[in-house]
Amino acid sequence: MERERLEAIWERTVEKLKEVVREFKITEAELHEAGDYFNRLGQSGMCRSLIDVALAMTSVDVVASKSGGTRPNLEGPYYAKHPFRANGNLLEHEPAADAARLVLYGTVTDTTGASVADAELDFWQADSAGIYDRKGAHLRGKIKTDGSGRYQVTTIVPQDYAEHDHDPIGELFRAMGRPNIRAAHVHIKVYVGGELRLTTQVFMPTSEYLGRDYVEGAVSDDLILRFEPEPSARGSKSYRAKFDIAIAASPEAVAS
Ligand code: DHB
Ligand code: FE
């Protein structure tokens, strides 16, 4: 970050926080309690997550406000490099017996409605217990749209996500009496010609946390899937869901 921008942001941030100190007559002991908390948070490696929870969607929305197309959403902490899935199957091993199967499909168009062939879609998500594979590539992978801009992946329905129960983020939310749970979602990135054009998330209509996702502002109706139930041989539930993606017509339109 350039020096002027850094200094201006620091000054404004301190000004805003001074207002909070005055409003609540925060004592020096309480400030030190906050400092100790941030030390613990840093040691746990969870500073990024807490910033995401409070501020990422404000950033995503303000940066993307002119782009049009599918609403972007935060990348979150668990993005990685993913393998190509020639058959569109994101599973690397059998899921839990109670996992609901999901076929996610749709088209990629630009905001004029023209289909985008050969776009690269990159998916990652938690499993049916709300856990991300952070070592391997289970429930992660890339595919390409076909000549008509169509895509399809085979996966399972992820579960609501509460991995912070044992770190300082969970500690903070427990202390406030709030749930620290992410509504179940699948992350998607879209690249065209090697250029990143969209980062978003789609939410599961079966989630109990759509109205109280702890990432403020993340869930919106346009990003909630509609499940089409399918007959399933296995006894587990099985759905299809269509999610059409519209990307801004040019990268410049996103940047300006
Ligand atoms: C967090 C987790 C996610 O999966 C995500 O997409 C965003 C934030 C988190 O742990 O805070
Ligand atoms: Fe996530």
Nearest CA to 155 out of 174, 142, 173 is that of: 142
Percent of the chain with pLDDT over 90: 84
CA-nearest residue, atom 7 of ligand 1? 76
pLDDT of residue 65: 66
CB under 8 Å to 47, separation ≥6 — which residues? Answer: 38, 41
15 pLDDT more than 80: yes
Q: What is the mean pLDDT of residues 193-210?
A: 96
> Of 48, 73, 189, 215, which is best to mutate to test ligand 1, by the most ligand atoms within 8 angstroms of its C-beta?
215
Bridge-based pairing of strands 185-192 and 120-125 is: antiparallel
Residues measured by CB to lie within 5 Å of ligand 2, the ion: 76
User: How many whole angstroms from 214 Cα to the centroid of ligand 1?
Assistant: 9
pLDDT of residue 11: 98
User: How many whole angstroms from 49 Cα to the centroid of ligand 1?
Assistant: 6
Residue 92 pLDDT grade (very low, low, confident, very high; cuts 50, 70, 90)? very high
Residue 50, amino acid: L
d(CA 230, CA 232): 6
Supply 147's token pair: 């000549």
d(CA 186, CA 243): 11
CA-nearest residue, atom 8 of ligand 1? 76
- Tens of pLDDT, residue by residue over 208-233, are 999 999 999 999 999 999 999 988 77
pLDDT of residue 254: 47
108 pLDDT more than 90: yes
Q: Where are the domains of the chain?
A: 64-253
Q: Alpha carbon 131 to chain centroid distance?
A: 14
Residue 222, amino acid: D
- For residue 217, which ligand has an atom nearest its CA? 1
d(CA 177, CA 161): 17
Beta bridge partners of residue 185, listed in sequence order: 203
> Of 46, 49, 166, 203, which is best to mutate to test ligand 1, by the most ligand atoms within 8 angstroms of its C-beta?
49
250 pLDDT more than 70: no
Tell me the angle at which helices 168-176 and 28-43 cross, rounded to the nearest 10 degrees: 140
Q: Which of 62-76, 97-111, 112-126, 206-220 has the lowest mean pLDDT?
A: 62-76
Residue 235 pLDDT grade (very low, low, confident, very high; cuts 50, 70, 90)? confident
d(CA 50, CA 61): 18
Supply 198's token pair: 């969209």
255 pLDDT more than 60: no
d(CA 183, CA 206): 9
Mean pLDDT of the chain: 93
- Tens of pLDDT, residue by residue over 120-166, are 999 999 999 999 999 999 999 999 999 999 999 999 999 998 878 99
CATH number for 64-253 (one of 2.20.25.90, 2.60.130.10, 2.70.210.12, 2.60.40.60): it is: 2.60.130.10
**How does DSSP assign 141-207, residue by residue?**
EEEE--TTSEEEEEEE----B-TTTTSHHHHHHHHHT----BPPEEEEEEEETTEEEEEEEEE-TT-
251 pLDDT more than 90: no
Q: How many residues does the structure list for the chain? A: 256
CA-nearest residue, atom 3 of ligand 1? 76
Please, is 103 exposed, middle or buried when counting C-beta atoms within 10 Å of its C-beta (0-12, 13-18, 19+)?
Answer: middle
Residue 176 pLDDT grade (very low, low, confident, very high; cuts 50, 70, 90)? very high
pLDDT of residue 62: 87
